[in-house]
């Protein structure tokens, strides 16, 4: 396994078992791209590990329960891994269950994620997190 694929496996494990330390897998400065996220979220974010940690804490109203259909793929670049997975969880209040399908391409340096390109369905995200009105408003501009 490459450093990138090992980091990808740790990322998935911490998402379920220890979200409080998930930010520790990111470099001090990181670029997060989410090309399909508009209008829900910025499509490119230059952020810090501590800003990510604060965001993960704010998102504690939802709990991720498991990942399924996981594929961690090595690339010809040992610093890059591709992660395909379905993330299952429960949102609060109400305890509604959700499933989000993702593909992420991560770049890792010295065991830390320095760049992540995340592909997920904005419709799934909007439904899971109560953002459907925001999505529709953004589409209609």
Average pLDDT over residues 43-50: 95
pLDDT over 80 (residue 118)? yes
Q: pLDDT tens-digit profile of 108-117?
A: 999 999 999 9
Burial class (CB in 10 A: 0-12, 13-18, 19+), 69: exposed
**Mean pLDDT for the stretch of residues 33-37:** 92
Q: Above 80 in pLDDT, residue 141?
A: no
Q: What gap in Å lies between CA 9 and CA 31, rounded to an integer?
A: 20
pLDDT reported for residue 108: 98
pLDDT in tens, 51-87: 999 988 877 677 899 999 999 999 999 999 999 999 9
User: Which structural domains are found in the chain, ordered by start?
Assistant: 3-140 (3.10.450.50)
Q: Does the pTM of the predicted model rise above 0.85? A: yes
Q: What is the H or E stretch that residue 65 is in?
A: strand 62-74
Mean pLDDT of the chain: 92
**CA distance linking residue 86 with residue 102, whole number of Å:** 6
- Cα separations (Å) of 102 from 62, 109, 125, 141? 17, 22, 11, 26
Copy the structure tokens of residue 63: 């709990």
pLDDT at 92 over 80: no
């Amino acid at each position: 396994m490459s450093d990138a694929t090992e980091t990808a496996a740790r990322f998935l494990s911490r998402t379920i078992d220890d979200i409080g330390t998930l930010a520790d897998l990111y470099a001090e400065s990181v670029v997060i791209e989410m090309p399909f996220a508009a209008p829900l979220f910025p499509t490119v974010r230059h952020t810090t590990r501590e800003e990510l940690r604060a965001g993960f804490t704010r998102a504690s109203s939802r709990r991720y329960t498991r990942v399924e259909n996981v594929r961690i793929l090595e690339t010809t670049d040992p610093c890059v891994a591709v992660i395909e997975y379905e993330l299952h969880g429960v949102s609060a209040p109400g305890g509604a269950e959700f499933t989000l399908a993702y593909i992420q391409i991560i770049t890792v340096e010295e065991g830390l994620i320095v760049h992540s390109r995340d592909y997920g369905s904005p419709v799934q995200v909007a439904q899971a997190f109560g953002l459907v009105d925001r999505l529709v408003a953004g589409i209609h501009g």
